[in-house]
Each structure stands twice: as C-alpha cells, then as structure tokens.
Structure 1
Amino acid sequence: MIKNKTDYINYLERDRIALEIYNDSISSKIKNFLFPNPVWTFEKRMRKLEYYVNCKNKGIYKLYILYIKYRYRAISVKLNFSIPINIFGPGLSIVHYGTIIINYTTRIGANCRMHACVNIGASGGEIQGPILGDNVYIAPGAKIFGNIRIPNNTAIGANAVVNKSFEEENTMIAGIPAKVLGNIDIKKLIRHE
C-alpha cells in the first residue's frame, strides 16, 4: 500500500516497467503522447488516487480526491474494470482492457500480470476475498473466489476456477476446480525486478 510520496513514485515506475511503457527516445515519447495506452492511464489514475486517499486525505485535498475519484471511475467504466484502490502491490500489468472484477477485500502482492475476464471475489456470504502473493500470473477468464490464499510465484491458467488455498510456490494451477498441474518458472510469464 502506498504510504508516502516515495512509495507513490516507486509504484508508478514499477507499473510502467511491467507494462513495458518506454519513454527513452523521442519517437517513443511522441507515440505515447499521440496514442496513450489506456491501461497505463488507468493505472496512473489508480496510483494517484491511492496516494491521495492514503496520504493526503484532509482539508482541501478532500475536494481534489473527489475529482480524482470521478476521473478514476470514468476510465474504469470505459475499460470495463471494477477494481477498488489499495488492492495491488507495485509492478501491476493488466495486459488487455475488458471485464475485470475484484472484491475490495482482496489483496494481491507485487508483480501481478493479469488478463481480461478475470473475477476475484468473496464467496458464500464471506467478506474476505482471496490473498494472492507476489509474482502471480492470472490468465484470461480465471475465477478466484473465497477466503483463500495463493502463494508467491504462481501461474493461474485460463478459465481456471480457484476456490481453495494452495501452498506450494512455483506452480501452475488450472482446471475446474483448479489443481496443481506442475512446476513453472514464473520469470517466463511476468516481468519483475
């Protein structure tokens, strides 16, 4: 969670690297200006809102927070995301825009790479959503629900239904219901420092 300006800058930089947004040449700067990546715009607004809500939530800043919330909601609706703030650690990479729904009690660690049509939430009247570790890859269509834990360095397969906790790291889980299919080198699926 962003707790100060240094965290805010660090989160933005790690998100930019994870999304492979480069500003290292004049041509890339022109391209990013003329054709901005909508997911990068979403992530920048999300991090800005997190920073102001967590660190500057008093006085005149409350009005500015309302404005940021309005802009965050507008781009969320445009991209079809339902993602509350303070869910993800640094290094978030949402690969495509499309339906993504996440429960507000979910927590996801650093370096998460996620595709479209993902649903992460609570289950059966419970309040607590899943807790996912660092370096987690979530393929298109995955459904993750319940008061469960997913360990670090885990890949969740396409259209998997994950409704129980797993303990072993460096694994690929998939299927309905999900089960461990084997070991995996997560560095091949996600970019992290």
Structure 2
Amino acid sequence: MIKSKSDYKNYLKKDKIALGIKSTNIESRIIQFISPNPIWTFQKRLRKFEYYSNCKNNGVLKLYVYYLKYLFKKTSVKLGFSIPPNVFGPGLAIVHYGTIVVNIATEVGENCRMHAGVNIGASGGSKKAPIIGNNVYIGPGAKIYGDIEIADNCAIGANAVVNKTFLEQSKSIAGVPAKIIGDVDIKSIITHI
C-alpha cells in the first residue's frame, strides 16, 4: 500500500519496468505522447489515486481525490478492468486489456504479471479473498477465489480454477480444479525480476 510520496514514486518506477516502458529518449516520449499505452495510463491513474486517497485525502485535496477517482473509473470501464485500489504491490504488469475482476479484499504482492479474463474474488458469501505472494504469473482466464493463499514465485496456468491454498514456492499450478503440475523458474516468465 502506498503510504508516502517515495512509495508512490517507487510503485510507478517498478510498474513501468514491469510493463517494459522505456521513456529515456525523446523518440519514445513522442511516441507515448502521440499514441499512449492505455494500460500504462490505467496503472498511472491507479497509483496516483492510491497515493492521494491514502496520503492526501483532506481539505481541498478531497475534491482532487474525487476527480482522480472519476478518471480512474473512466479508464477502468474503457479497458474492462474492475480493479480496486490498494490491492496490488509494486511491479504490476497487466499484459492485455480485457475483462479483469478483482475483489477489494484481495492482497497481491510485488511483480504480479496478469492476463485478460482473470477473476480473483471471494466465495460462498465470505468476505475473505485470496492472498497472493510476490512474483506470481496469472495466465489468461484464470479464476482464483476463496479464503486461500498462493506462495511466492508461482505460475498459474491459463483457465485454471484455483480454490485451495498452495504454499509451496516456485510451482506451476494449472487445471480444473487446480493442482501442482511441476516446478517453474518464474524468472523465465517474469523477466524483469
């Protein structure tokens, strides 16, 4: 969770690296200005909204927080994302836009790489949602739900249905219902870590 301006800058820096966005030269800045990356725009708005609502939500700035919330929701609807603030750690990489639904009670660590069609939520009327560790890859169409935990350095396969806890690190999880299908070197999938 972003608790200071240095946290905010760190989150933006790590998200930018995770998305592979380079803005060090004039050419890439011009391209970004002419044809902005919609996912990067979403993530910048997400982090800015998190920062201002967590750290500067008082007085006149409260009006600015409402404006940021409006921009954030507008971008979310445009891209098909239902991602609440303060869920993902730094280094988030949303690979494609399309339907992504995440419960507000979910906790996801650093360097999560996620595809379209992902649904992470509560189950059976419970308010508890998944807790997902650091350096986790979530494949397209994966469904993760319930009061469960996923260990660090795991890869969840495409269309997997994960409804139980997996505490072993560096495992590949796939299937309906999901099970461990082998070991995984997460650095080969999430290359920026």
- SS of the residue 1:73 aligns to: helix
TM-score between the two structures when normalised by the length of structure 1 = 0.99
- SS of the residue 2:164 aligns to: coil
Question: Residue 57 of structure 1: CA displacement?
Answer: 1.0
Question: Residue 190 of structure 1: CA displacement?
Answer: 0.9
Question: Residue 26 of structure 1: CA displacement?
Answer: 1.7
Q: Which residue is 1:48 aligned to? A: 48
TM-score between the two structures when normalised by the length of structure 2 = 0.99
- SS of the residue 2:155 aligns to: strand
- Separation in 2, partners of 1:73, 1:157: 29
- SS of the residue 1:135 aligns to: coil
Are the counterparts in 2 of residues 8 and 51 from structure 1 also a CA contact under 8 Å? yes
Question: Residue 192 of structure 1: CA displacement?
Answer: 3.6
Could you list the per-position Cα deviations for residues 35-61 of structure 1 after superposition, in whole angstroms to 9, with x for gaps in the alignment? 110000000000000001110111111
- SS of the residue 1:67 aligns to: helix
Question: Residue 29 of structure 1: CA displacement?
Answer: 1.2
Q: Is 1:60 aligned to 2:41, yes or no?
A: no
- Separation in 1, partners of 2:135, 2:67: 32
| Number of aligned residues | 193
Runs (5+) with no aligned partner, structure 1: none
- SS of the residue 1:144 aligns to: strand
- Separation in 2, partners of 1:167, 1:124: 22
Could you list the per-position Cα deviations for residues 16-47 of structure 1 after superposition, in whole angstroms to 9, with x for gaps in the alignment? 00001111222111111111100000000000
- SS of the residue 1:12 aligns to: helix
Runs (5+) with no aligned partner, structure 2: none
Letter in 2 for 1:183: D
Identity between Structure 1 and Structure 2 (%): 62
The CA RMSD over aligned residues, in Å, is: 0.6
Structure 1 ranges of 4+ moved more than 3 A: none
Are the counterparts in 2 of residues 111 and 191 from structure 1 also a CA contact under 8 Å? no
- Separation in 2, partners of 1:27, 1:36: 13
Q: Which residue is 1:136 aligned to? A: 136
Are the counterparts in 2 of residues 135 and 192 from structure 1 also a CA contact under 8 Å? no
Letter in 1 for 2:176: I
1:12-161 residue pairs with structure 2 within 5 A?
12-161=12-161
- Separation in 2, partners of 1:118, 1:93: 13
- Separation in 1, partners of 2:120, 2:192: 22
- SS of the residue 2:182 aligns to: strand
Task: Using the TM superposition, name which of 26-35 and 139-148 deviates more.
Answer: 26-35
